[in-house]
Amino acid sequence: MNQVRYVQRIRRRTGVVDLYFRKGGHREGPLRSLDGSLELKAEVDAILARIARAHAAQTPKAGTVGGAIQRYRKSADFIRLARSTQKEYERLLREIEADVGEVRLEEIDTAWITELRDLWAPRGYKAANDRLQVLKNALAPTVNDERIKADPFLKLKKLAPPHSADEVNLAWTDEEVDAFIALALQRKMPGLARAVALGRWAGFRRGTICNIPLNARVLAQNEDGLPQRRLYWTTEKRKVLCDKREDGRLSALLESTPAKALTIAYDQKGQPWKQRALNQAVARLIGALAQSGHARPNLSPHGLRHARGLELAYAGASDAEIMAQLEHSSERAAKIYRRQAERRRMADSGQDRVDNVVAIKAQRKRSSNRA
């Protein structure tokens, strides 16, 4: 009889040969049957059948949320996401499968989604909104081909943060940036100072901050034929081309700090930053600065990007210019920055009017007193 597949033979010191079943990650044994016997093949076939039944039980059924999620994982929309985004989406998809994977698509409507949102609400408004967005992405094909009759997300409102919650990803002030860089250099952490500079003066996301290489800084010529330092790179998250003149403040910081790695920014070991490690390093120094009153607590690396976007908007940059500077793929974020800048201008303009009225009243009072 031919050798049975998936059977591994292990010879013991005593000379006895034990038989084990091995297939992929499944390990089982020692087997009861004798090598070369018909019983051995029957025993292995029984194990294979049991594995197939377990796999079928775990496979999401067609026409369910779990089935839609399984197809979404194989879709171009999912595959084109940055690796870091795929990893985070996968974590959320597993949780959604555990919660509602067996629900059939015909059961899904706006009322069902609303109830699901409210059930997720105790986990936090951001956690609930993140899960809703990932579920919406996974179910989009079933809405488009009308397996779900009407878009259940169309009129659904996201959960708002509680009034006591801090603003997410606060924009850093210039004073906070300067204090952070000074402390990083004082603690002999030039790679961290470089990371913050890339976020603040290039407006990069964390993925780009961690991965952008030294050779992304290219020496080109401007329209007058003079040398010009530019940043040329394809960003990690949206795969959008970055091709922009380097901010002079960034150039000054990079030229005054050592280049110790193949990437522009680097950790204490001279290696490219991992996103979580960068978050932790920034949090530690922000904590120290907050204690001394030089920074607000809870500032994040992404808040540096917001500071850059607001700076561009305050300077009068158009939506297209903000998009090009921050490598946006749509105008939505650019419009938000411009609206925030306009609100600040209007608030300052309103205060100017109040100041003018106060000054006029004070002048009249002085004139009345002299009379």
Q: What does the pLDDT look like over 323-342, one tens digit per residue?
A: 999 988 777 778 888 888 88
pLDDT of residue 335: 83
Q: In this predicted model, what pLDDT tens digit does every residue of 28-44 receive, in sequence order?
A: 888 988 888 888 989 99
Question: What is the CATH architecture of 174-333?
Answer: Orthogonal Bundle (1.10)
Q: What is d(CA 131, CA 126) in angstroms, rounded to the nearest whole number?
A: 9
Predicted confidence band of residue 58 (pLDDT cuts 50, 70, 90): low
> Has residue 165 got a pLDDT over 60?
no
Q: What is the pLDDT of residue 3?
A: 78
Residue identified by tokens 């790695």 is: 261
Whether the CB-CB separation of 266 and 197 falls below 8 Å is answered with no
- What ranges do the domains of the chain cover? 7-58, 65-144, 174-333
Question: Has residue 79 got a pLDDT over 80?
Answer: yes
